[in-house]
Structure 1
Amino acid sequence: MSQLRIADQTWTFASASLTVYHCLAPEADWNLALDHAGQTLWLAGTVIPGPSSPEALIGAEVVVDLRALDELVGALLDRPVTLYPNGQDVCALAFRLAPSPRGVRLAANARCDWDRYLETFDHDQPVALELDLDAAVTALYPGNMP
């Protein structure tokens, strides 16, 4: 099962599909398609090193593109959000991929500060982010996606 929790809300995704491209580079890019109630939402980032096979993804370090994270969480909350994972001094979400029944597991926990100007939450405290996604590896492209 794939889930994302932010603050006191949790969303479950019917499926998660990972596509990696620029695999021949030292740092590859990835897109994760998430099926939420029939709608496809996206998360993106980079993976180090570029994988030569799906098995090579296990233990690789992924970094989440924070703009993609804001877009995903904003779509789920149905309001704009700017998150600062691990606080404004760090402002990064990175972790290592683990094996999962479908392929790879993207899992991370972080306390997130957020842009108060947007009034996304009804309090002035950081929010907890829990990401636990079981993704099928659908494609590895040596260069750009076709």
Structure 2
Amino acid sequence: MSRIRIGHDSWTLDRASLEAYHCHAPEADWNLALDHAGQTLWLAGTVTPGPRAPAELVGAEVTVDLRSLDEVVGALLGRAVTLYPGGQDVCALGFTLAPSPAGVRLAAIVTCDWDRALATFPHDEPVVLELDIDAGVEGLHPGGLP
């Protein structure tokens, strides 16, 4: 089971699938399709080293594109959000991929500051973001996406 939690809100995902491209480069790009309640949300980022086979994803370092993180979390919350994982001085989210029955596990827990001008949360405190996503590997492409 895959889920995303932020603060006191939690969502279970119906399905998650990962595609990576530019895999012959030292750093590859990835897109993660997250199916939730009839919609597809897209999380994106980079993976190092570029994987040439699905098994090479296990132990690889991923970095999450924070704009895509804001879009996913904002869609789940139903309101705009700008997150600063690790606080405004860090503002980055990276972790190591682990094996899972589906293919790979994207898992991270991080405290996030957020843009108060958006009034996303009814308090002035940082929020904890937890990603625990089992994703099938749909494709590894040496160049761009087909």
Match of 2:68 in 1: 68
CA distance, structure 2, for counterparts of residue 79 and residue 8 of structure 1: 15
Match of 1:19 in 2: 19
Deviation of residue 58 (structure 1)?
Answer: 0.3
CA distance, structure 1, for counterparts of residue 12 and residue 118 of structure 2: 25
TM score, norm. by length of structure 1: 0.99
The residue matched to 1:56 in structure 2 has which SS? helix
Q: Percent identity?
A: 71
- Letter paired with 2:44: A
Please, which runs of 5 or more residues in structure 1 have no aligned partner?
Answer: none
Match of 2:89 in 1: 89
Matched, 1:7 2:7: yes
CA distance, structure 1, for counterparts of residue 69 and residue 39 of structure 2: 16
CA distance, structure 1, for counterparts of residue 16 and residue 84 of structure 2: 24
CA distance, structure 1, for counterparts of residue 84 and residue 41 of structure 2: 20
Runs of 4 or more off by more than 6 Å in structure 1?
Answer: none
1:99-129 alpha-carbon deviations (Å, 9 max, x no partner): 0000000000000000000000000000000
Match of 1:128 in 2: 128
